[in-house]
Amino acid sequence: LKRKMIQNILDYYKITKKSTLAILQIFFCMVLILIGCNIFSNIASHWSLDNNKYEPLPDLFFETFGYYYSFVIIDSSMYILLAITIILIFTNRDALQISFRLICCISIGYFIRMTTLAVTNLPDPNKECFKVDKSSILSEFNFSRCGDNIYSGHTLICMFLAFTCTSYKYFNNFYYNIIMNVIVWLLAMTSIIFLLLGRIHYTVDVVLSIYISIGIWILYQNWYSKMISKLNIFGENDNELTEVNIT
């Protein structure tokens, strides 16, 4: 009975050795890139400008809206969005392909972010941030560090999670899909707006992150997915994935 159950799961999600290996490889790459990005964030923080000497740059959002810091709201919204995304993915028979795209896009987005962190440092908009000590560059994981600006990693994650939830059809009922899309984007926008209210990022960091995430998602949709399908990683039905075209 247990073997039959396992086989049913393998058949339902079309799990093969090839697809499993592909998922593990791209997941390993993502982990390495995230670790590398964290190290570069710490380096950027270590040589960041002193907030006591340099004022934050002019920002239209900051001048329009008051300061309100709440990392609980930022993280809670993002984690709820993550939970919804995971549940939706596993309700879809093409879960492996959808997961592969999400992980791949996050990897590309954070690799680009790693390079932008390394080349430019701005006065941090958050006056309560701290500079990472040289001895903690490899071990610090606190998001309240200074210098971790261009561009917003939280926004990147929220955008990719929202794209994952809204680019595929998870329900047969049209209204269920609409309701789910509204909830998902409300959660994503809540997290992003409170990032700005808490002065965690400049507005330009968030705007760049939105542009870059859209570009990466469309690039995968129009080019990279075709290359993956030629490798036949996920079986013969690679091109039959039900997707809402966003271009």
Mean pLDDT value across residues 24-34: 96
Mean pLDDT value across residues 117-144: 86
Mean pLDDT value across residues 138-152: 86
Q: What is the pLDDT of residues 52-65, one digit of tens each?
A: 888 899 999 999 99
Extract the tokens encoding 14: 């079309």
Query: How far is residue 26's CA from residue 224's CA, in Å, rounded to a whole number?
Result: 14
- Residue 239 pLDDT: 44
Extract the tokens encoding 26: 């791209």
Contact 169, 242 (CB under 8 A): yes
Mean pLDDT of the residues in the chain: 88
Contact 43, 134 (CB under 8 A): no
- Residue type at 207 in one-letter notation: V
Contact 99, 89 (CB under 8 A): yes
Mean pLDDT value across residues 68-94: 93
The closest of 151, 127, 123 to 41, measured between CA atoms, is 151
Domain ranges of the chain: 2-50+60-240
Contact 44, 134 (CB under 8 A): no
